[in-house]
Structure 1
Amino acid sequence: MKQILITSLILWSFNSEAQDTPQKFVDRFFVLYQTKGANEAIDYIFSTNNWMNESKDQVENVKFKLNSTLKLLGKYEGYDLITKKSIGEHLSLYTFLIRYDRQPLRFTMTFYNPSKDWRLYNFSYDDSLDEELKEAGKAYRLKENLDY
């Protein structure tokens, strides 16, 4: 009986480790982004969701627009996690600062797990981080009666 229990626990742990997680998707995305380029990384991240097979035109549009933007930014310098947020155990959002020579971009990836398998739910990018930073520093957002 002990042997069956131990075998079951071992099999469960291998199965748990083999399951893809948002973090594994993110890690693989950035390895591809750095080594093979934006197109490979975008193809990979969208491939995690079978429902997106019907949206090939939209995926190609994302790649085209992103590549057009990247041509203007210079050398890729790396990425930093800005935030990771979750709602329960089934929806996770990751936001990254993508560092380029000229200016940063922001990538936002949302992952969804309806029952047992994680998949990309949404991917977006923009270059408005500096605008939000300026807004956050405006006087009306600052704490009143600062004690110095």
Structure 2
Amino acid sequence: MPYWPLPEEEIQNLGYQTKAQLAMVGDRFGAMIGAEHVKTTIAGQSLVKHVFLIKREKHAMRFSCVFYRPGKDWLVNAVVWDDKPQNLFGNEG
């Protein structure tokens, strides 16, 4: 994949692991009911982070994607999700 600098096998493995982990929390968090964009943070001209709230029936989750531009193209640099939506409030949470 041109915008994700990982071998295809690693991307597929990441997808399988994510699917398995989300299935494990399914009963506890409930079904996914939607998502909403929370914020976009820009650091210089080469780094941007998009943060989303994943809405589930019983619990919210935080999801973020970081993109890095070493030249003219943007690359996926990190994808992170967790069950700590309170951290969206910064120092308050």
1:69 aligned residue (18, 25, 29): 25
Q: CA deviation at 1:126?
A: 0.7
Query: What's the counterpart of residue 49 of structure 1?
Result: 4
Unaligned segments of structure 2, at least 5 residues: none
Q: CA deviation at 1:132?
A: 6.5
SS of residue paired to 2:71: coil
Superposition pairs for residues 1-148 of structure 1, below 5 Å?
Answer: 48-53=3-8, 55-56=10-11, 58-59=13-14, 60-130=16-86, 133=89, 136=92
Distance 1:123 1:57 in 2: 14
- In structure 2, the CA distance between the partners of 1:100 and 1:57, relative to structure 1 (3 Å rule), is same
Distance 1:64 1:57 in 2: 12
Distance 1:78 1:84 in 2: 18
- Superposition misfits of 4+ residues, deviation over 4 angstroms: none
Percent sequence identity is: 23
TM normalised by structure 1 equals 0.50
- Higher RCO (C-alpha 8 Å, min separation 6): 2
Q: Which is helix-richer, 1 or 2?
A: 1
Q: Which is strand-richer, 1 or 2?
A: 2
Distance 1:113 1:122 in 2: 13
TM normalised by structure 2 equals 0.74
